[in-house]
Every structure is written in structure tokens, then in C-alpha cells.
Amino acid sequence: MSGLRAGKLPPEKLRQLVLAHRGRLRPEVRVHAGLGEDSAVAETGGRLLVVSSDPITGASAEMGRIGVYVACNDVAAMGAEPLGIQVVLLMPEGTPDEAIAGIMAQVAAAADHLGIEVLGGHTEITGKVSAPIVVLTAIGLVEPDRLVTSAGARPGDGLLVTKPVGLEGTAILAADRAQELAAALPGDLLERARSFIAEVDAVQDGRLTAALGVSAMHDVTEGGLVGAAWEMAQASGVGVEIWEARVPVRLETQRICRHFGIDPLRLISSGAMLAAARDPERVVRALREAGREAAVVGQVLPASEGVRVVRADGRRDRVTGAPPDELWRVLAS
């Protein structure tokens, strides 16, 4: 039997190995575990409780801060306000005290920025890991009429994205491949690229976008914009078309992606939100008036149309499964 490759579990394996085992489904749960949904939602007697978990296994220099934002972005993608986070640290034997304190200082700083509390968790030193692993669970609340999921997209909706894509992947590559890139690209460009890590926070973008009345929303993480579009299509039972020429991509991302020969639309993009809306131009205008970056980047189609990317040169790339993230391909090389 062949083993699995690094990265997110393929959708067919996720259905077979994970989602097939969910215990007894509870009537209080409004959004159950499912492909394309990153958070669960349960009724609490008034507001809805939203819960999401994420591991951070790379980007070690900023893993505490990134982890808080990535987990809370999932909650905000459903229109919820994060209120707290739980943190599980699995650290290799021989870890110095200052390594744990450094991660938790990042966690606390990010939590303070978002106005949320570190609720608890678990810390363990174990010989089973060779590098730090941080697993974070974010908890938030949302009014029932403000709940947004990945499953609400309908044919005829337009697709919009907040922020340029690839910011997180650009920052990680600029840091982890600094020596190689320094020989090929200007130093000031790489410095700007590394600074993009500060834009991984998408909580306010997500909550504001949800309040503007969108049909569906999904944060753009592994697999980039293409991966988020594919997951939204799966959750909603629709087709999706992305227009490459309309997707905002910063110069720094373009140059770094060109150097490595990778597609910025498939690069991990925490900090960006993908949303479907009946009137996407209205939502984009409102976001821009609020000082946010946003652009219309595609449309929702009938399921029979599948998922595709219309490239700037007119080519149509069919997407037949969840795309692997370009970041891991580079880091593994």
C-alpha cells in the first residue's frame, strides 16, 4: 500500500478516512464536519458557537502569530467574532525554555491584537516530533442571521476576493529561501515580501464581508485561490470560473513565483477571503469604501460546468481535484 504525501489529505481520502467517522450527529449542530467547511457551528440558545482548529507545522519563525490568525480567520469566514483560542504545543526533546516562551509570546500578541483570550490548551515535550507543532482551536460567536458558510454559493453569483493572493506564501518563501532569492532579486523587494506576514490576519475583512450580505465565504489557505474556489464549489454543489487577469497579485509575489516557476493562484494565501455574492461589485465598492482591498475575480456556474481557471492568455485550465499547494512543492525541493 502506497503512503500519503505531505500536505492536506486528498478529498477522497478525507471522505473515506475521516469524514466517514463522525460519531452521533447532534441536533444542536448547524454545520457539521464536511468537505469545504473549516468550522463547525452549534446552537447555544441564542447566538451560534463557531469552532475551528488548525495546525502550524512550517513557518517556524512566526508560527505562533500565524497560527492564531489562521484559526481565527476560519471563524471569521463564517461571520463570527472570535472570543478565544486554545493552544496545543508539541515540542521536540531538548527544546529550550525560550523557544516555548517565544511561541507563546507571539500567540499572546496576536490574541491581544484581535481582542481575544488564550483559553488554555496543552504543552508537551515528546520524542515523537522533530520540530515544533502548534495546533490552535478558535472559538467564536455569531448571530444566526449573520452566519455565512462555504455552501451557499449559487449559479449566477459573482466571486470576489479580499486582499491580493499569495501574501502568506510570498512571505514564507522570502524568509525560508532568502539566500537563493537574494542572488536573483533586489533586497528591498525581498524585505517587502517578508513583511507580508503581517497581513495574514483576515478577521475584520471576513466579518465585514459577511455583514455585507454575501452568499458564501471561504478563507484562502492551502491550494491558494484555486483551492478555495474548488472547496467552495464542492461544498455548494456548483461550478466555478476564476479569471486570472482580474486576480490581484502584488509585484513581489509575481517575481518570487516567476523565480520558482510556480502559480500564484495556487500559493497559500491566508489573509485573503473568497466570497460569492449576487452583486459582487456592490460588495467590492463597500469594502473599498471601508479601506479594504477587494476585487471581482470570477463567477459561480452550474455544477455541470466544473471548476476552471481562465488564464490571461485565454486558456481554460480545468480543475478536477483539490490542487496541492505550490509552497510545499518549493520547500520540498
- pLDDT at 59 (0 to 100): 57
Render pLDDT for 284-325 as a digit per residue (tens, 0 to 9): 999 999 999 999 999 999 999 999 999 999 999 999 988 889
Task: Give the pTM.
Answer: 0.88
- Which residues are CB-neighbours of 119 under 8 A, at least 6 positions away? 84, 85, 86, 139
**Length, in residues, of the chain:** 333
Q: What is the DSSP string of 145-206?
A: GG---TT---TT-EEEEES-TTHHHHHHHHHHTHHHHHTTS-HHHHHHHHHGGGG---HHHH
Query: Who wins on pLDDT, 60 or 176?
Result: 176
Render pLDDT for 17-34 as a digit per residue (tens, 0 to 9): 777 787 888 788 878 777
Give span(s): CATH 3.30.1330.10, the chain.
26-146
- The CATH H-level superfamily of 26-146 is PurM-like, N-terminal domain (3.30.1330.10)
Provide the mean pLDDT of the chain.
92
Q: Could you give the angle at which helices 203-211 and 63-76 cross, rounded to 10 degrees? A: 10
Give span(s): CATH 3.90.650.10, the chain.
158-331
Arithmetic mean of pLDDT, 117-142? 94
Q: What's 64's DSSP letter?
A: H
Place of cell 490574541: 111
CATH number of 158-331: 3.90.650.10
- pLDDT at 60 (0 to 100): 65
1 pLDDT exceeds 70? no
